[in-house]
Amino acid sequence: MLAVKRTALAMLMTSALLSGMANAAEKATPVFTPEQEARIGEIAKDYLLAHPEVLVEVSQKLQAQQQEKQQQAMTAAVIQHQAALLNDKGTPSYGPADAKVTVVEFFDYQCIYCARLAPELEKVIKANPGIRFVFKELPIFASRWPASLTAAKTGLQIYQQKGSEAYLQYHNAMYATGHNEGKLTDADITAAAKAVKLDVKTAPDVQGTLEGIGALAQQLGFSGTPALVIMPSSGASADNMTVIPGFTDGETLNAAIQKAAGGIR
Which region, left, alpha or beta, applies to residue 181 given φ > 0 means left and ψ of -120 to 50 means alpha? left
* Predicted local distance difference test score (pLDDT) of residue 64: 60
Characterize 207-240 residue by residue with b for buried, 16 or more Cβ atoms within 10 angstroms of its Cβ, and e for exposed.
eebbeebbebbeebbbebbbbbbbbbbeebeeeb
- Over the chain, what is the mean pLDDT? 87
Which residues is 105 bridged to in the sheet? 135, 228
- The identity of residue 88, as a single letter, is D
Q: Is residue 182 part of a domain?
A: yes
CB 184 within 8 A of CB 109: yes
Containing domain of residue 252, as a range?
A: 79-262
Kindly state whether residues 92 and 143 are assigned to the same domain.
yes
Kindly state whether residues 99 and 35 are assigned to the same domain.
no
Residue 218 sits in a domain of what CATH number?
3.40.30.10
Which residues is 242 bridged to in the sheet? 230
Kindly state whether residues 29 and 131 are assigned to the same domain.
no
* Predicted local distance difference test score (pLDDT) of residue 49: 79
Which tens digits make up the pLDDT trace of 183-209? Answer: 999 999 999 999 999 999 999 999 999
Bridge pairing between strands 227-232 and 132-137: unpaired
Kindly state whether residues 33 and 88 are assigned to the same domain.
no
Which tens digits make up the pLDDT trace of 91-113? Answer: 999 999 999 999 999 999 999 99
Query: Shortest CA distance to 226 belongs to which of 156, 125, 139, 129?
Result: 139
The number of distinct structural domains making up the chain is: 2
Q: Is residue 67 part of a domain?
A: no
For the question of whether the overall pTM of this predicted structure is more than 0.95, the answer is no
d(CA 146, CA 151) in angstroms, rounded, equals: 9
